[in-house]
Amino acid sequence: MTHTNTEEHHIRRYLAPLALALSAAAGNLQAGPTITYGDEGFLTLNYGVQIWAQARDFTTPTDSGDTTDIFLRRNRISLSGQYNDYVGFYAQLESQSDSRQGNDDRSVFYRDAYVTFDWTDSMRFIAGRFKNTFSRENLEACLEPLTIDRGEVLVYTPFGGTRDTGVAMWGNLADARLQYRLAVTDGREGDEVVKDSPRLTGRVHWSLWDPEYDYGYRGTYLGTRKVLTLGAAYDYQADVAYSDFPNREGSSDYKAWTADAFMEYPSKYGTFTVSGAYFDYSTDDAINENPDSALPVNSELKGQYAKAGYLFPNKIGIGRLQLFARYENLDYGIDNGRYDNQWIGGGANYYIYGQQLKVTFEYANINFDEDDPTTPALQDYDQATLALQLIF
Residue 282 lies in a domain: yes
Over 90: is that where the pLDDT of 37 sits? no
Number of domains in the chain: 1
CA atoms 332, 334, 335, 340: torsion sign: negative
- In tens, the pLDDT along 144-157 reads 999 999 988 888 99
Alpha carbons 221 and 293: distance in angstroms, whole number: 41
Q: Tell me, what CATH number does 35's domain have?
A: 2.40.160.10
Residue 244 lies in a domain: yes
- In tens, the pLDDT along 260-270 reads 999 999 999 99
Q: How many CB atoms lie within 10 A of CB 103?
A: 12
Residue 371 lies in a domain: yes
- Residue 11, SS3? helix
Average pLDDT on 89-98 reads 85
> Residue 256: in which H helix or E strand, if any?
strand 249-267
Domain that holds residue 385: 7-391
Over 50: is that where the pLDDT of 2 sits? no
Residue 92 lies in a domain: yes
Residue 268 lies in a domain: yes
Residue 1 lies in a domain: no
In 32-162, beta strands by DSSP E: 34-37, 41-58, 67-82, 87-94, 109-120, 123-131
Residues with Cβ within 8 Å of residue 61, at least 6 apart in sequence: none
- In tens, the pLDDT along 319-360 reads 799 999 999 999 999 887 788 999 999 999 999 999 999 999
Residue 2 lies in a domain: no
Over 60: is that where the pLDDT of 14 sits? no
Half-sphere exposure of residue 107, counting CA atoms within 13 Å on the CB side?
Answer: 5
